[in-house]
Amino acid sequence: MQKLEVFGSNKLKGQIEISGSKNASLPILAATLLSDKKVYLKNLPKVKDIVTMINLLQSLGSKIKFKKKNLIIDNSKQNKNFASYSLVKTMRAGILVLGPLLAKFGAAKVSLPGGCAIGTRPVDVHLKALSKLGVKYKIIQGYVHAVAPRGLVGTKIKFEKISVGATENLIIASSFAKGTTILSNCAIEPEIKDLINFLVKLGCNIQWTSKRTIKILGVNKINQPTHTIMFDRIEAGTYLIAAAITEGNLIIKNVIPNIIKREIKTLRKVGAKIFTKKNEIQIKGNKNIKSLNIKTAPYPGFPTDLQAQIMVLLCMANKKSSVREDIFDNRFMHVAELNRMGAQISINGNKALIKGNIKFAPAELMATDLRASVSLVLAALTTKGKSIINRIYHLDRGYENIEKKLKKVGAKIRRVNI
């Protein structure tokens, strides 16, 4: 076990290079199961969820070489279709192997997923959509037992609600279905577009026909692609907020500013000065932080994965603010820990009411999920004194070398073995 010790009150100054996207890498790694040739992926982040997905693929028979940030997958002898609970329990993205396994073998047994404890995260949307492609399934002792007796057959599917994971699973599965599939009410996150870019390089026939509608013609011929994973927009947003809360001056590199326009607009509204170039963003924090009312929404709305981080900033704003969580239930578990540091946040259903005008005090803290854990780090960066953050394995699921990156720009932070 490890913990972080954070000594606050330093303004962050310098440059931070953003890693490859965890949320883009996971579905792309799952999609490589479609191939029986070598696949080359570049710019993968070295985070726990990626290691878990690699272990899952290896358990299915994939041969993988992962060096630095580049990976080679050889599926020429991949012949297993059982994803065990021991590998899927810590990561909800494990369910993404269901679609490609069904497309490839016509049958799969996949554990129901685990991951962050932020609501029930039902896989019903995935399963109902797959059933329209000809899949029959039962859930027995925590496993999805699924078969496609006649193979996957293309059809028209409208998602009952916008779901990133279900959109990804169905795009992957439909790429090998017989005939044409039309998916509507799709999620349009940049990570989904990166997945489609990869699948097109693989040889799949996928087209956007409107903002949230995708047309997929099933194929059976596969290429041997090389693909570079997009930048992690949530990591970028986290460090932008870190600069804002510490009155810092950071240059965020290896990003595409146009992809995170909403986040940039939000930070400008609270008073940060932001300048953008082709592949970088400069942000200067402001002592006077303005209050704001925010609600999370599917892309291009404000991302739920930055909700906890922006709440830290709004605790320091000049007036009352609010944050409404419209994506997941039970995603305010960081609030209790922030209140222990001096925040004054009250919860009313899916809305957090934030008093503002507070100064965080150091404390010993407990991380409850991935994004909650990084919000505690951000709050600790503003305090005068030492904060201790426990259960940082949550943090390591999605942030690559966070203490090293923060140290480089002036933070006093260290990892300690317990």
List the catalytic residues. Answer: 116
Quick one: tokens of 322?
Answer: 């609010």
For the chain, the maximum distance between any two Cα atoms, rounded to a whole number of angstroms, is 65
End-to-end CA distance of the chain: 6
Calpha distance 365→362 (Å, rounded)? 9
Calpha distance 395→416 (Å, rounded)? 14
Calpha distance 198→192 (Å, rounded)? 10
User: Cβ contacts of residue 192 below 8 Å, gap of 6+?
Assistant: 27, 164, 167, 168, 171, 186
Q: Which amino acid is at 281?
A: I
Report H helices in 124-260. 124-132, 164-174, 190-202, 233-245
β-bridge partners, 417: 2
